[in-house]
Amino acid sequence: MSVSIDDVTRAAGRLAGRIRRTPVLEVSPELFLKLELTQHTGSFKVRGGFNRALAAGDLPAAGLIAASGGNHGLAVAYVARELGVRAEIFVPTVSSPVKVAGLRALGAEVTQTGAVYAEAYEASLKRAAETGALEVHAYDHAEVVAGQGTAGLELLEQTGGVDTVLVAVGGGGLLGGIVAALDGRARVVAVEPERIPTLDRALAAGGPVRVEVGGIAADSLGASRIGAIGYGLARAAGVRGVLVGDEDIAAARLELWRSFRVAAEYGGAAAYAALRCGAYVPAPGERVAVVVCGGNTDPSTLV
């Protein structure tokens, strides 16, 4: 299964009036920051959640179900609240109490089970089969990927076009959506933490493989395997991937705050880190956009 520019365009129509058109900060004539951290619930994830739910038509009485202790769970809970349906979110037992509290504040029923995300995910699938709730995968449903891609359509409209877009990679939903939305009109550079190289390993192996997850960005980019849809789109488009270290991510996050007053989470700063540390070096005059994808962070750590 893949996602096309037509899928992203249809998603944009569904999402009209449901999501924020997030701003673009023009740092210079050659550098733009797409501020997805200003989206509802603090990340781009609401785009895909809404598109999955709205594309389904009449939602089941059991509502929506998802596995995530982070940004995806918050997004699905928000979507369910806005659509007036139930949300059940499965999170691993190690999830942050702050994020669990955030899920409950949005009205979601939270089930904590399993030591890691994969175990919570399996439990959510079992529960969905029992109740008939609509599953909303964090990154590997076509409707979710198409929804995330609407950020790319906005970016092109807001900038008048760029040469390159830098996108952080976890499970690959945002990456795949951006690739589909740009449809060859700009190159895409996939930025991954060195300690979570899901795309890098998949490209080397010829398909998605499981990786060990660690590092400071694991709470938002911590998928242990890239999704099949994101991987397929990235490989077909010849997406270039670069890796950045934890120190580079932390330094980029501080610079985003100090220079632009953008309070990104670590995963949200990963794409900018590629520019700052030289993992990606633009050519003279190259117009580059960086997607700052999330801002669910403790702002006190920026001071």
Q: Is 34 helix (H, G, I), strand (E, B) or coil?
A: strand
What are the tens digits of pLDDT across the range 40-75? 999 999 999 999 999 999 999 999 999 987 899 999
pLDDT at 196: 92
Residue 242 in tokens: 């670069």
Instruction: Give the tens place of pLDDT for each residue, 128-147.
Output: 999 999 999 999 999 999 99
CA 207 from centre of chain: 20
- Model confidence over 145-195: pLDDT tens digits? 999 999 999 999 999 999 999 999 999 999 999 999 999 999 999 999 999
Which sign, positive or negative, has the C-alpha torsion 257, 161, 6, 240?
negative
Q: Is the pLDDT of residue 98 over 80?
A: no
Q: Is the pLDDT of residue 15 over 80?
A: yes
Please write the tens of the pLDDT for every residue from 255-300: 999 999 999 999 999 999 999 999 999 999 999 999 999 998 888 8
pLDDT digits (tens, 9 = 90+) for 199-252: 999 999 999 999 988 899 888 888 889 999 999 999 999 999 999 999 999 999
Q: How confident is the model at residue 119 (pLDDT cuts 50, 70, 90)?
A: confident
Question: What's residue 220's pLDDT?
Answer: 83
CB atoms within 10 A of CB 98: 9
- Compute the distance between CA of residue 280 and CA of residue 229 in angstroms, rounded to an integer: 25
CA distances from 250 to 189, 192, 254 (A): 20, 14, 6
Reading the block at residue 56, the tokens are 């389904």
pLDDT at 299: 85
Report the alpha-carbon angle 223-133-15, nearest 5. Answer: 70
> pTM score, two decimals?
0.94
Contact 296, 44 (CB under 8 A): no
Position 101 confidence tier, pLDDT thresholds 50, 70, 90: confident
pLDDT of residue 218: 83
Residues 6+ apart with CB under 8 A from 137: 66, 144, 227
Q: Which helix (H) or strand (E) covers residue 18, if one does?
A: none
* 3-class secondary structure, 285: coil
Three-class secondary structure of residue 87 per DSSP: strand
pLDDT score of 79 more than 80: yes
